[in-house]
Structure 1
Amino acid sequence: MPSQITRRQFQGTAMQSLLTFSLLETLFGAELFAKDIRPVTAQWLKELNTIAQDLKGTKLTQTQWKTQCERLFNQVNLRDLLEFIDFDGRISQTPFREKGERAIQFRFPEVEGLPTNLIFGHQIFKLKQGQSVTPHGHDNMATAFLVLQGSFHGRHYDRLEDTQSHMIIKPTIDSTFKRGDVSSITDQHDNVHWFKATAEQGYIFNIHVLNLQDGNSGRVYIDPNGESLNDGTIRARKISAAESTKLYG
C-alpha cells in the first residue's frame, strides 16, 4: 500500500522546497549582480591605471592627472565599488586602531581585462569618530581620496616652501567631506591634507602613484597649528609620525 503523508509533513516539505528555491534565487541573483558589476568597475580601474601610467610616463602633467582622476572618482558607482572590494567582508570587519587611521591593504578581484600589476597603489583608511588621517605633506607622489562611508572634516594646504625643520603652508580647502566626495593631491596643489572623522565610522578609498621623479616617495608630517604669518600662510613644524599620531590621531 502506498505510504501516505500527513498534512503537516506535506506543508513542511513544501516550505522547505520554497525556502531552497528562494535561497537559490537569491544566490543566482547575487551572482548575476556580481558578474554584471565586475566588468564595469574593472573598466573604471583600468582607466585609473591608464592615467597613472601616463602620469609616470610624463604624457600627463600632475595638474592634468588631478583633473582626470577626480572626474573618474566622481563617476564611479559607489555601491558597485563596495561590492567589488567586498566591503561588507574583510574591510568592515577589520578592527580600528586605538589612535589614527587603520590602513587596510587588499587585492582587487581578478577580472578579464584588468591588469594584475597596477601602476597605482591602493588602500582603505578606516577611522572611528574623532580619529584622523593626521596632517602631512607628500613627497614625490600624486594621490587621491574617495569617501566610501561616513563624514570627515577635511583640510588641505598648498606646500609653498621647505626648510630642514619647517614647512610653509597656505590653507586651500576647509570643508565637510561626505560619502562620494573626492579630493586629490599633487606636488603643485593641495599637497598637505588632514582628515578627521566626524561620524561614528568613516572609510576612505585611496590610490597613490609613487616615484614620479628620481628619489623616494613618502609622507612628511607637520603640526599645522604653527606660526601664522602676515600673508595668511603658516610656518608649520615638521614632526615625526609618532608625534603626529599623539597630537592628532
Structure 2
Amino acid sequence: MELQNRREFGKKMLGTTLNYFLLESLFTSQAFASSVRPVATHWAKQLTEICNDLKLQKIPPVLWQQQVEKLFNQIELPELLKFIDFETLTRGFDYPDLGVNTRMVKFPKLDGLPEKTVFIRKIFGMKKGRAIIPHGHSNMSSAHLVLKGEFALKHYDKVAEEDKYLLIKPTIEKTAGVGSSSSVSDEKNNIHWFIANTETAFTFDVIMVDLGGKAYDIHNIDIAAGEKAGNGLIRAAKLDVETALKKYGKQHH
C-alpha cells in the first residue's frame, strides 16, 4: 500500500509539473507573440513583400537593396533581437577558428506572415580577427545588419568575370558597428568582405537565391594578391573554399 501510494503521489506531482510547464510555455508564447506583433505587421510583412517583388522580377535588385536597407534602418534593434530570439540563437554558439558559423532564423507564427518565405534568414557569428571571406555572387542578392560587435567591411563591384578571375572595383571601405547595414546584388556592391574587430560579432542576413530562374553561385577571390588592371580595377583570382579560408578566414599577424 505504501509503494502504491508513493506511485500515485508521483504521478500526481508529474502531472502537476507538466501542466505547469505547459501553461508557462503557452503564456510565454502568447506574451511573446503579443509583444512582437507591431514588428510583424510593420516590418516583417514589408520585408516579405519586398522579397516577393524581387523574386517575381517586379523590382530590380538595386531597388531591393535600397528598400531592405531602409527597413533595417527603421526597426529598433532591441525589437529585432527579440523578434528573432537572438538570445536563444546565440546560446552555446560555436565560434570556429577559421571563418564564420551560421544559424537559421525562424520568425514567430503571426497573422499575415507565411510559414515559408522566398528569402533565407540567418545570423552569422565569429570571433575577433575571423572573417566572412571575400567573395562575389551570381544570381543572388543579400542584405546584412550588424547585430553585435564591429566589423571592418569592404565592398567591390564585379565589373567582369573571366574563367579564373573576377575583375573588380573597390566601392566601400568602412567600420560597420551595431545597426550598420549593407547589401549585395549582381548590379551593385557585388563582392563583400567582413572582418570582426571585436571579441565576437554577429550579422542578421536576408538572402535571396536563384534569381531570374538561374542557379546562384559564389566565388571566393584572392583580393590581396590581385593585379592592378588600370582605372582602379583589380583582377583577382578565384579560390576554392579551403584555400580561401586558410588565407582569409583568420587574420595572421
Bin for the TM-score computed over the shorter chain: 0.7 to 0.9
| 8 Å Cα contact 2:157-2:168 kept in structure 1 | yes
Tell me the SS of whatever aligns to 1:244: helix
Aligned-residue offset at 1:33: 6.6
SS of the residue corresponding to residue 111 of structure 1 reads coil
Q: For the residues of structure 1 that align with 2:33 and 2:207, how far apart are their CA atoms?
A: 27
Q: How far apart are 1:93 and its partner, in Å?
A: 2.4
1:34 aligned to 2:32?
yes
Aligned-pair CA distance for 1:92: 3.8
1:26-83 alpha-carbon deviations (Å, 9 max, x no partner): x9x9888734432122221221111111111121111111111111111111101111
How large is the RMSD of aligned CA atoms in angstroms?
1.8
Q: Deviations over 1:77-108 (max 9, x none)?
A: 11011112221123242211121010112322
Q: Is the 8 A contact 1:46 1:115 kept in 2?
A: no
Which residue is equivalent to 1:17? none
Q: Contact (CA 8 Å) 2:135, 2:221: kept in 1 or not? A: yes
**1:213-224 paired onto structure 2 within 5 Å:** 213-224=212-223
Which structure 2 residues correspond to residues 1-249 of structure 1 after superposition, within 5 A? 34-43=32-41, 44-225=43-224, 226-249=226-249
> Which residue matches 1:12?
none
8 A contact 1:38–1:111 mirrored in 2: no
Quote the Cα distance in structure 2 between the aligned partners of 1:228 and 1:92: 44
Q: Do the aligned partners of 1:227 and 1:235 also contact (CA within 8 Å) in 2?
A: yes
**Counterpart residue identity of residue 209, structure 1:** M
Q: Give, as a single letter, the amino acid of the residue that structure 1 aligns with 2:173.
A: D
Question: What is aligned with 1:10?
Answer: none
**Worse overlay, 183-192 or 227-236:** 227-236
Q: Quick one: distance in 2 between partners of 1:90 and 1:121? A: 16
Mark the runs of 5 or more structure 1 residues left unpaired by the alignment: 1-26
SS at match of 1:55: helix
- Residue correspondences, number: 222
Cα deviations by residue, 1:153-212 (Å, 9 ceiling, x for unpaired): 000000001111000000000000000000011111000000000011100000111111
Tell me if the contact between 1:124 and 1:206 (Cα under 8 Å) persists in the aligned partners.
Answer: yes
Structure 2 residue runs of 5 or longer lacking an equivalent are 1-24
Query: What corresponds to 1:7 in structure 2?
Result: none
> In terms of mean alpha carbon deviation, does 171-180 or 93-102 score higher?
93-102
Q: Which moved more, 1:77-86 or 1:174-183?
A: 77-86
